[in-house]
């Protein structure tokens, strides 16, 4: 839906309000999706940390001391735990920055919509007042013209 300077009046205002409503709904949907992603990422990070913790509880008998397999397994578990920490840090960052900015954007959009509606109402009221005043002036001019016409046709009617 495009907008044009050739689209004045109520239709344009309603189209603008519809666009603003649609954008607000989209932003709210984006916020919910990102919040859900943050929640899932945190759960995944917790799960990775739990798996790494469980994986580190290996048999520590002396039969395995110096084993390359044990060293490799510990390395894998450390990396798994590090991935979990990175995922959690990333989800915290997304929540802190992205969701906060989206909330601010939604708030600004709501304020802009409200301001647009108030300004449209003010302009519409002013236009109505100006139209009524113009109509009154036209009617007054007609009355004055009729009064002058009547006086010139029969001056004795209005004179005492």
pLDDT tens profile 38-95: 999 999 999 999 999 998 887 666 777 788 988 898 899 999 999 999 999 999 999 9
1 falls within a domain: no
Q: Whole-number mean pLDDT of the chain? A: 85
**pTM: predicted TM-score of the whole model, two decimal places:** 0.66
- Which tens digit of pLDDT belongs to each residue from 15-35? 888 999 999 999 999 999 999
- The first and second tokens of residue 55, run together, are 């994986």
Task: Quote the CA–CA distance of 153 and 148 in Å, as a whole number.
Answer: 9
Which pLDDT band holds residue 1 (cuts at 50, 70, 90)? Answer: very low
Over residues 135-155, mean pLDDT:
74
- Which tens digit of pLDDT belongs to each residue from 36-47? 999 999 999 999
Question: In this structure, what CATH number is given to the domain that contains residue 55?
Answer: 1.20.1270.60
Count structural domains, the chain.
Answer: 1
Task: Quote the CA–CA distance of 43 and 129 in Å, as a whole number.
Answer: 61
Q: 67 φ, ψ to 5°?
A: -70, 135
Domain that holds residue 74: 13-59+66-158
4 falls within a domain: no
159: left (phi over 0), alpha (psi -120 to 50) or beta: beta
7 falls within a domain: no
Give the residue ranges of DSSP H helices in the chain: 10-55, 68-93, 100-153, 155-158
Specify whether the CB–CB gap between 34 and 26 falls below 8 A. no
């Amino acid at each position: 839906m495009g907008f044009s300077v050739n689209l004045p009046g109520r239709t344009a205002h309603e189209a603008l309000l519809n666009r603003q409503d649609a954008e607000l709904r989209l932003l709210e949907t984006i916020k919910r999706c990102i919040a859900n992603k943050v929640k899932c990422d945190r759960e995944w990070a917790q799960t990775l940390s739990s798996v790494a913790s469980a994986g580190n509880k290996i048999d520590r008998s002396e039969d395995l001391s110096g084993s390359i397999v044990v060293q490799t397994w510990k390395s894998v578990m450390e990396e798994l735990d590090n991935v979990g920490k990175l995922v959690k840090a990333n989800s915290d960052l997304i929540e802190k920055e992205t969701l906060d900015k989206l909330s601010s954007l939604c708030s600004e959009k709501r304020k802009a919509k409200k301001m647009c509606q108030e300004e449209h109402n003010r302009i519409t009221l002013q236009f109505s007042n100006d139209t009524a005043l113009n109509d009154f002036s036209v009617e007054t001019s007609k009355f004055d013209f009729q009064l002058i016409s009547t006086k010139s046709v029969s001056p004795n009617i209005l004179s005492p």
